[in-house]
A and B are shown apart, each in its own frame.
Chain A
Amino acid sequence: MDRTQFLLGVSLLLFSLGLVGLIVRRNLLVMLMCMELMLNGVNLSLVTFASRSGSVEGAVMVFLIFIVAAAEIAIAIPIVLLLVRERRTLDAGAYTDLKG
């Protein structure tokens, strides 16, 4: 097995595990962390391709993803804080207001 294939497989596995976590875990904060895991999996595949091909674009993309992920988490956590202030629970099952 080639090193590239191995690393790609790992990245896809990390992504899938993050997705599973998003579906199965109930805690809002844990769901957020699973989303971070998904991002990391994607980062890994980008870096693999960047290092293999020697082109800098992949790394640039990863750099930008860092920044975006930071911005995203900076907003997501305050949102969760506000929600919890309302309902006093971190259970995702309690937030079904969009039921229609």
Chain B
Amino acid sequence: MIETALLVLFATAAVVGAVLMLLLRHPMRVALALIGVMISLGGIYGLLGVHVIAVFQIMIYVGAVMVFMVYAIMLLDVRDPSFTERYSAWLWPGVAACGVLAALLVGAVWRGAIPTFTGPGDRFGVQPFSLSFLADYWLHFELTSVLLVVAVLAAVAVIKLRGRHLG
């Protein structure tokens, strides 16, 4: 009972945060709305019993990605047309198209029959999760570490490009 109420609460908070992202003017406020969305999602994950993911959601997304985004916003405090004119020329066509999309998708989910599942069990604690993760998906893990190395190289290259690029 309380679980369902909390779930609905967090879900509503996420949706409201998302809508706010579209309406707010200052990028910093938009970032804060996004942080709110992410924290709500973390809460949902926790309620679903997927604790390890919930923790990583907060640590990686909020703690790293959004912090970086906030730094960027603070760095680029530019007052330009996008400040006053929030919306592009595609406002209404975009809203219409995505409304249709959302209606289609949500309608499909509503009408579809979801088979019954078993619960999460205790497989999503840190220890059991890590064990099964690294046992079966170690290759994917290694590949993503390669991806991260490449990303670091790319970032360095992009910064170095700056000198030549401006020529």
Q: Name A's B-contacting residues (CB within 8 A).
A: 2-10, 12-21, 23-30, 32-34, 36-37, 40, 43-44, 47-48, 50-54, 56, 59-60, 62-64, 66-75, 77-82, 84-86, 88-93
Contacts and interface: CB of A to CB of B under 8 A. Distances in A.
- The bracket for how many chain B residues form the interface is 35 or more
Instruction: Say what secondary structure dominates the interface of chain A.
Output: helix
Given A25-B88, A73-B68, A88-B78, A17 B159 contact: no
Contacts of A89: 78, 80-82
A84 B75 CA distance: 11
Given A20-B94, A33-B30, A81 B102 contact: no
Contact of A84 (B76, B102, B106, B165): B76
A32 B110 CA distance: 30
A48 B120 CA distance: 10
Contact of A82 (B44, B118, B165): B165
Interface of B: 4, 7-8, 11, 14-15, 18-19, 21-22, 27, 30-31, 34, 37-38, 41, 44-45, 48-50, 52-53, 56-57, 60-61, 64-65, 68-69, 72-73, 75-76, 78, 80-83, 85-88, 90-91, 93-95, 97-99, 101-102, 105-106, 109-110, 112, 114, 117-121, 123-124, 129, 132-133, 136-137, 140, 144, 147-148, 150-152, 154-155, 158-159, 161-162, 165-166
B120 A51 contact: yes
27 contacts: A4-B117, A5-B109, A7-B11, A10-B11, A13-B15, A23-B97, A24-B91, A25-B88, A26-B82, A29-B72, A33-B69, A36-B61, A37-B18, A44-B41, A51-B119, A54-B123, A59-B50, A59-B53, A60-B133, A63-B133, A67-B60, A68-B147, A80-B72, A81-B75, A85-B162, A86-B166, A88-B80
